[in-house]
Amino acid sequence: MTFGVFEILSLIGALGFFIFGMKIMSDGIQKFAGDQMRSILRQITQNRFAGILTGFGTTAIIQSSSATTVMIVSFVNAGLLSLRQAIGVIMGANIGTTVTAFLLLAFGFGKFSISDYSLPIIAIGIPLFFVNHSKIKSFGEFLIGFAILFMGLDALKELMSFIKEDPSFLQNFIQPLDQFGFGSVIIFVLIGTLLTVIVQSSSAAMAITLSLCGGANGLSFELAAAIILGENIGTTITANMAALIGNIHAKRAAIAHLFFNVLGVIWMLIVFYPFLQFVDFLVSETFFNALIIDGDAESSTRWSLAVFHLFFNIFNTLILVGFIANIEKLVIRILPPKNDDDEMFNLKYFSSTIPVGELSLIEAQKEIVKFGKIVSRMNDFCRHILTEKKESEFNRYIERIEKYEDITDKIEVEVASYLTKVSESELSERSSIKIRGMLSMVGDLERMADIYYQIAKTTARKRSNKIWFTPNQRERIIEIYNLMEEILETMCLNLEMRYSEVELSKAKSLEKNLNKLRKEIRKEHFLNVEKGEYPFNNAIIYSDLFNSLEKVGDHAINVTESITGEV
C-alpha cells in the first residue's frame, strides 16, 4: 500500500475527529457537573489522599488529564489550592487518565465497538443539545462528543490497518531504531513525548499507540510501553503552556507536574524489564486475562499496555506521595518568591490562559475580591492624608493612591477581557447572568477607585493651598470615612461569599445610614456657610469631599446588587 499525501491528510483528519469528539465530550461533562466540581475542589483539604482521589475522579469523569491539570493550574493561580494540594490532585489525575485506555479498548478495539452505535447516540444527543435546560443541553453535548470520539477512533483504526497489509512500512521505521538495546527504549520514550506534544492530547496519543501496537507487524509491547512513558512526560506540556503567563504559584504547579512525571519515568526505566514481566504476569494470570480475545495477539498486547499504564501510575503515586513536601520545596527553590512588595498588585488570580469553561468564573471572582480590597485600602489611605502632618508620609500616601488607581484601571480591562473570553464558550444561564453581574461589578469598582483618586487630588490641593478644616469639619469627614470602611468591608465579604448566599439587607442598611449622614452634614454645611463659619474655598473642598464619598457608597451598593442579580 502506498502512503501518500491523501492518506496522511486522512490520518490527520481522523485524529482531528477523535480530538474534536474528546473536546466536545469533555466540555459537555464539565458544564453538566460544573457546580459540583467547583464544590469538590473548594473542599479539598491538606489531606493528600483526598487530593489524589479528587484528581482521579475528575479526570476519569471528564476524560482529559490536560483539562484537569490546566484546571488545577488555574485553581492554584486563583489561590483555591496550595501547591502541596495541587501536587496531590495532579497525582490522582495521572491515575485517572489511565481510564481512557480501558474505555478505548472496551468500546473501540474489542468485538463490540461503540462506533457502530455512534449515529444513534448522536440522534439522541442532538435533540437534547437544543433543549433550553442547561443540564440537559450539556448532557446532549456529552453524548455527541462521546459518539464523535469513537467515530474518529474507528477511522483511525481503519487507516492504521495498512500495517497488516504492508508490514514493511512500520518495520522500515522501527528496525533502524530497534538496534540499540535499552537505548531504543529511550528513543521511543522521546518519540512518545514528541507525539503527545504535537497532538496536544494524551488520549489521542494513546489512541494512536493502541492502533499501532500488537501482532507480528505492529509495535511490540516493549516499544509501545516506552512510548506510553513518553506520553506521560508530553502531557505535562499543556499545563506548562497554560502557566507561562500565570503567576509564580501556577508556574510552580505546572513544573511540579513535570517533575512528578519525569521522576516516575526515570525510576520506571530503571526497573523497565522486570516491570514488563510483572505486567505479563498480571495479564496472563489474573482477572485481566478475561478481557483478552482468545488467540488474538493484538488484543493481548493492547490490554497489556493499558495494564502497564495503570500500574505504572499507581506505583508512581504510591512511591512519590510521601515526597510531596520535598517536591514542593524543590519547585519553590527553582522558582523562588520575588522580593517585590507590590506582588499583590499584579493580576494574581488568573492570566490570559485558556479559560476552563464555567470553572473560570472562580478565578474571576477571586480577582474581583482583590479588586474590592484594593478599593477598600484606598479609602483608608484617603482618610490618613486628611490628618497626616508629616509631609513625607503625606506624599507617600498620595503616591500609593495614584499607583492603586493605575492598577485598578488595568484590572478592570483584564477582568472584562477575561470574562468576555469565558462568555464566548457555551455556559449555563446562571453562569451567563453571573458574568453580566461581574462585568457590572468591575465597572463600579473602577469608578470607586477613580473617585478616591480625585478625593486624594482634592486633599492635596487643599494642603498645598493651605486651606484648613475646622475641627468639626475634620470629625464629620472622618465619620464618613469610618462608615465607608464598614460599607466596603461588607462589600468585600459579599464578594468572597457564594453569590447565591449573599443578602442585601446589611448593605442597604449601611447605605441608608450613609445617605442620612450625608444629609445631616450637608444641612450643617449650608447653615455654617450662611453664618460665615469658614471661607468659600474651604466650603467648596469640604462639599466636594462628603459628596464624593457618598457617590462611592452608591457604587458599593451597586456592587452588592450585582452579586445578588438585582442589577
Last residue of a domain, one of 283, 317, 334: 334
Within the chain, how many helices (H) and strands (E) appear?
Answer: 24, 0
Last residue of a domain, one of 310, 334, 358: 334
Co-location of 281 and 372 in the same domain:
no
- Residues whose CB falls within 8 Å of the CB of residue 18, separated by 6 or more in sequence, listed in order: 149, 152, 153, 155, 156, 203, 204, 207
Asked if residues 68 and 100 have their Cβ atoms less than 8 Å apart, the reply is no
Q: Which residue has the higher pLDDT, 225 or 98?
A: 225
Q: What is the mean pLDDT of the chain?
A: 79
Classify residue 179 as exposed, middle or buried by CB count within 10 Å of its CB (0-12, 13-18, 19+).
exposed
The domain that holds 536 is classified in CATH as 1.20.58.220
Tell me the per-residue pLDDT of 22-37, one tens digit each, with 9 for 90 and over: 677 767 766 666 555 5
For the chain, how big is the Rg over CA atoms in Å?
30
Tell me the per-residue pLDDT of 49-93, one tens digit each, with 9 for 90 and over: 777 777 777 666 655 566 666 666 656 655 556 777 778 888 888
Last residue of a domain, one of 334, 364, 393: 334
Tell me the per-residue pLDDT of 157-189, one tens digit each, with 9 for 90 and over: 676 665 555 555 555 666 677 777 788 889 889
Closest-CA residue to 314 (of 17, 491, 56, 499): 56
- Residue 342: the pLDDT is 38
Confidence of residue 343 (pLDDT cuts 50, 70, 90): very low
Co-location of 39 and 73 in the same domain:
yes
- Residue 268: the pLDDT is 92
Q: What is the DSSP string of 505-523?
A: HHHHHHHHHHHHHHHHHHH
CA 340 to chain centre: 25
As for how many domains the chain has, the answer is 2
Confidence of residue 445 (pLDDT cuts 50, 70, 90): very high
Co-location of 350 and 326 in the same domain:
no
Provide the residue count of the chain: 567
Spatial distance between the Cα atoms of 275 and 272, rounded to a whole number of angstroms: 5
Spatial distance between the Cα atoms of 493 and 489, rounded to a whole number of angstroms: 6
Co-location of 535 and 422 in the same domain:
yes
Co-location of 320 and 350 in the same domain:
no
Q: Is pLDDT of 261 > 80? A: yes
3-class DSSP state of 133: coil
Once rounded to an integer, what is the mean pLDDT over residues 423-433? 73
- Residue 92: the pLDDT is 83
Q: Is pLDDT of 303 > 70? A: yes
Tell me the per-residue pLDDT of 542-558, one tens digit each, with 9 for 90 and over: 899 999 999 999 999 99
Co-location of 486 and 554 in the same domain:
yes
Q: Which residue has the higher pLDDT, 337 or 40?
A: 337
Tell me the per-residue pLDDT of 345-391, one tens digit each, with 9 for 90 and over: 444 555 444 445 556 777 788 888 888 999 999 999 999 998 888 88
Co-location of 315 and 463 in the same domain:
no
Co-location of 267 and 306 in the same domain:
yes
Tell me the per-residue pLDDT of 461-520, one tens digit each, with 9 for 90 and over: 988 888 888 889 889 999 999 999 999 999 999 988 888 888 888 989 999 999 999 999
- Residue 426: the pLDDT is 65
pLDDT above 70 covers a percentage of the chain that reads: 77
Q: Which amino acid type is present at position 414?
A: E
Query: Any idea which residue has 510552580 for its cell?
Result: 252
Secondary structure of 167-221 in the HEC alphabet? HHHHHHHHHHHCCCCHHHHHHHHHHHHHHHHHHCCHHHHHHHHHHHECCCCCECH
- Residues whose CB falls within 8 Å of the CB of residue 92, separated by 6 or more in sequence, listed in order: 51, 52, 53, 54, 55, 56, 57, 58, 59, 317
Question: What is the maximum span of the chain, computed from C-alpha positions, in angstroms?
Answer: 107
pTM: 0.56
Co-location of 302 and 399 in the same domain:
no
CA distances from 265 to 97, 233, 323 (A): 16, 8, 16
Q: Which residue has the higher pLDDT, 428 or 168?
A: 428
CA distances from 135 to 41, 141, 372, 428, 553 (A): 20, 10, 32, 8, 38
Co-location of 402 and 362 in the same domain:
yes
Tell me the per-residue pLDDT of 85-126, one tens digit each, with 9 for 90 and over: 778 888 888 888 787 777 777 776 655 566 677 888 889 888
CA 500 to chain centre: 22
Q: Is pLDDT of 245 > 60? A: no
Range of the domain at 436: 343-564
Q: Is pLDDT of 447 > 90? A: yes
Co-location of 212 and 120 in the same domain:
yes
Q: Is pLDDT of 526 > 90? A: no
Secondary structure of 418-429 in the HEC alphabet? HHHHHHCCCCCH
Q: Which residue has the higher pLDDT, 279 or 295?
A: 279
Confidence of residue 300 (pLDDT cuts 50, 70, 90): confident
3-class DSSP state of 503: coil
Co-location of 371 and 411 in the same domain:
yes
